[in-house]
Structure 1
Amino acid sequence: MACQENTILLRDEEGQEHEFLVVDILEVDDEEYAVLLPVVDSADEAIVLKIGRDEEGREVLYAIEDEEEWERVVEAWDELVDEEEN
C-alpha cells in the first residue's frame, strides 16, 4: 500500500497495517512526539507516540507509558491548538 508523503503506515500486534496522517511533530523536554490521526476512520481520536531510535539508529515510535510524560505532551498539544485557534 502506497502512502502519501504526510502519512505513515503502522503495523499492530496482529500484523495488520493501518495508515495514519501525521498531524504534527511536537518537541517537549528535548523529546519528539508524533500526533497521528487514522486515515480510514477519521472519527477516531488522534494518537500520540514518542519518537525514538532503536539500537541500530533507526527512527521508531513508542507508546508513552509514563503518566507524567503523557500529561506534559497533552498540555503542549493543547497549548499549540489554542494558539492556532486564536
Structure 2
Amino acid sequence: MDGVVTLVDEDGVEHGFEIIDMVELDGAQYVAVVPADEEPEEEDESDELVLLKVVAEGVEEFLEAIESEEEFNRVSAVFMERLKDDYDFVEGEE
C-alpha cells in the first residue's frame, strides 16, 4: 500500500490522502496519511495527520479508524517519533 488512497467519509464523499509512513506494531500494520493536495501551489500548514489501521480480509486490504484510545496512543507515539523531523505536532484540542 503506497501513494494516494481514496477514503469515503460518512456522507459518501471521496477524499484523497497521501500515505506518508507505514509501521508494524504488535503484529498489526498502521499508516499515517495527510490530505492529498488537489492544488499543490496552495500549501496548508494545518493539514492533519490521520492514523489508520490496515485490516486484511482475504486478499483485500482496508483502512479503518483506530477505535481503542490505548492503541491509538501507542501508534501515535511511534509515528510522532518517526516523523518528528518532518512535521510539527500539536496536541489536539479537547
Scaled to the shorter chain, the TM-score interval is 0.7 to 0.9
Alignment match of 1:62 (pick from 51, 61, 64): 64
TM-score with structure 2 length normalisation? 0.72
Alignment match of 2:49 (pick from 38, 46, 66): 46
In 1, Cα distance between equivalents of 2:12 and 2:37: 17
TM-score with structure 1 length normalisation? 0.78
- Percent sequence identity is 34
In 1, Cα distance between equivalents of 2:80 and 2:37: 24
Runs of 5+ unmatched residues, structure 2? 39-43, 87-94
Runs of 4+, deviation exceeding 3 Å:
none
Runs of 5+ unmatched residues, structure 1? none
